Amino acid sequence: MLKLYSFFRSGASYRARIALALKGIPYETVGIHLARDGGEQNKPAYRAVNPQGRVPALELEDGTVITQSLAIIDYLETVHPEPRLYPQHPLARANALSIAFTIAADIHPLQNTSTTNYLAKHLNADEAAIKAWYQRWIGSGLAAVETKIIGTGYALGGSDPTIADICIVAQLATARRLNFDLSAYPKVVAVDAHATRHPAFVKAHPLNQPDAE
């Protein structure tokens, strides 16, 4: 059976869990508790799995490990092509990936605890400065995503969720945890409300994980 090294609050782990649930792929959860100091991500046992010390990591039956949530999703899409997480039409696929990368590459790294911890420890940023930092980057990223949404249900208006919806839902879970004001992004909020009713999104929700606190 596949093993997913995951932390229930991790947005990137949430993305991988949604993809696995949508495709109906069984897996074992290995909880990796992330913490600023002394977290399990820094212990030799997990560094042997993923030298970068990040989650998620997907371990295949033969012991091969895939890291990075979008790489995991791409692998799953290749070996388990149904249901599709990438739209078939080239332009729709590009739009879905544009939303996904805006979130995973432009927002997520700048709100990540490793980034905010560095700001605090090495640049002497206080809580107000750190809040202003992630508010800035979450806001600018979601503003861009808001312009890319064309549907009133799922992000691209189709009948099934795509990688765009996966990334939006995971990002909004983090935004809410950080008390980010989402009132300026009604399309993003509507996509989230629609997608999170899907059973696979419910199954993957952070509070429904075995390592939830």
H or E stretch at 87: none
Has residue 205 been placed in a domain? Answer: no
Q: Which of 195, 147, 152 is nearest to 172 (CA)?
A: 195
Has residue 213 been placed in a domain? Answer: no
What distance in Å separates the CA atoms of residue 87 and residue 12, rounded to the nearest whole number? 21
Q: Which pLDDT score, from 0 to 100, does residue 37 have?
A: 67
Q: Which pLDDT score, from 0 to 100, does residue 38 have?
A: 67
Has residue 184 been placed in a domain? Answer: yes
Residue 64's identity, in one-letter code, is T
Residue 143's identity, in one-letter code, is A
List per-residue pLDDT tens for the chain, 213 residues long.
999 999 999 999 999 999 999 999 999 999 999 876 668 888 999 999 999 999 999 999 999 999 999 999 999 999 999 999 999 999 999 999 999 999 999 999 999 888 888 898 899 999 999 999 999 999 999 999 999 999 889 999 999 999 999 999 999 999 999 999 999 999 999 999 999 999 999 999 999 999 998
Q: What would the pLDDT profile of 75-87 be if each residue is shown by its tens digit?
A: 999 999 999 999 9
CATH of the domain at 169: 1.20.1050.10
Q: Which pLDDT score, from 0 to 100, does residue 39 have?
A: 83
Q: Which pLDDT score, from 0 to 100, does residue 12 have?
A: 98
Q: How far is CA 90 from CA 18, 86, 94, 95, 211, in A?
A: 23, 9, 6, 9, 38
Domain span at residue 28? 2-83
Has residue 11 been placed in a domain? Answer: yes
- Are residues 97 and 77 part of one domain? no
